[in-house]
Amino acid sequence: MATPFGAESTTEAVLEGIDLRGKTILVTGVSAGLGVETARALVAKGARVIGTARDLAKARAATDGVRAAAASGGSLELVELDLASLASVRACAEALLRKAEPLDVIIANAGVMACPEGRTADGFETQFGTNHLGHFAFVCRLVPLVRSGGRIVCVSSAGHRFADVDLDDPNFERTTYQPFVAYGRSKTANVLFAKALDDRLRSRGIRATAIHPGGIQTELGRHLTPELRAQISPPGGAPFKFKTVPQGAATQVWAAVVASAAEVGGRYCEDCHVAEVTADPAVRGGVRPYALDAKRADALWAKSEAMVGDRFTFG
């Protein structure tokens, strides 16, 4: 299916003519950047959005414009979730399960990037623990709420090209920590998680996909030093072109409620289209083959279950 959208498409363009009244969409990370814009765009089209944030006071201040944009019955509810704490993940998921309100879409948007070496509350390397394991434990718990015909969108990154997952040393206990290698591992994990979810949920009519929003100057880049920025645009390479926030949020909105499920299910999308699979390091776009490898996805699933101490099966 060809798409009329591209790298410069905005959330407004992607959602033109779309009516989301009656839809309930959960978005993680609505205290800044892409999460706020995603929530705003969806609420403006009539969706009920449940937005998660680690800091609710910050999220309330950041989402004034979301509430102001609400139309056609759209609304925003904020709930507390710290993806770097399995206790918080479980508490938030359990509260939502008690309400038993069906979800049409989950957009796993929250994340951290290229931060100094650190550990989550449960001792996981910060980026892998927050970007992947937190979402893994949270989303899997919420699968019973997702309606047939629903979708799960995992926000990954072109940064997955920095590194494949390391299932033998996910916490850098034997490997020298490098911020972008850790980021790459976590973003590859996001793609593999979407692949594994899609394989497990397709028979229930639920599809999962991973997306790259593009480079956007948001709080996500708070840890980028000049040296780390040079790794994004190496000498002699084409200058890195940043997107606006509405352009960056467009692909996850497109994958969630505009593109056909058959088109995006189990795939990796960028610039509002399904990306080509390529191993060519000279190609800036596309997705690396290792990020969509089914055996690798299953191995990561098993490793993730062991790390978080849970097993997830979907009948």
Active site amino acids = 183
- d(CA 298, CA 192) in angstroms, rounded, equals 8
Buried b (16+ CB within 10 A) or exposed e, 193-203: bbbbbbbbbee
Please give the Cα distance from 211 to 255 (Å, whole number).
8
Instruction: List % helix, strand, coil for the chain (3-state, nearest 5).
Output: 45, 15, 40
Q: Which residues contact 230 (CB under 8 A, 6 or more apart)?
A: none
Angle at alpha carbon of residue 222, lines to 166 and 136, rounded to 5°: 40
Q: Strand runs (DSSP E) across the chain, as ranges?
A: 24-28, 48-53, 75-80, 103-108, 146-155, 207-212, 268-270, 273-274
CA distance 27 to 152: 10
What angle is formed at CA 38 by the lines to CA 33 and CA 42, rounded to 5 degrees? 155
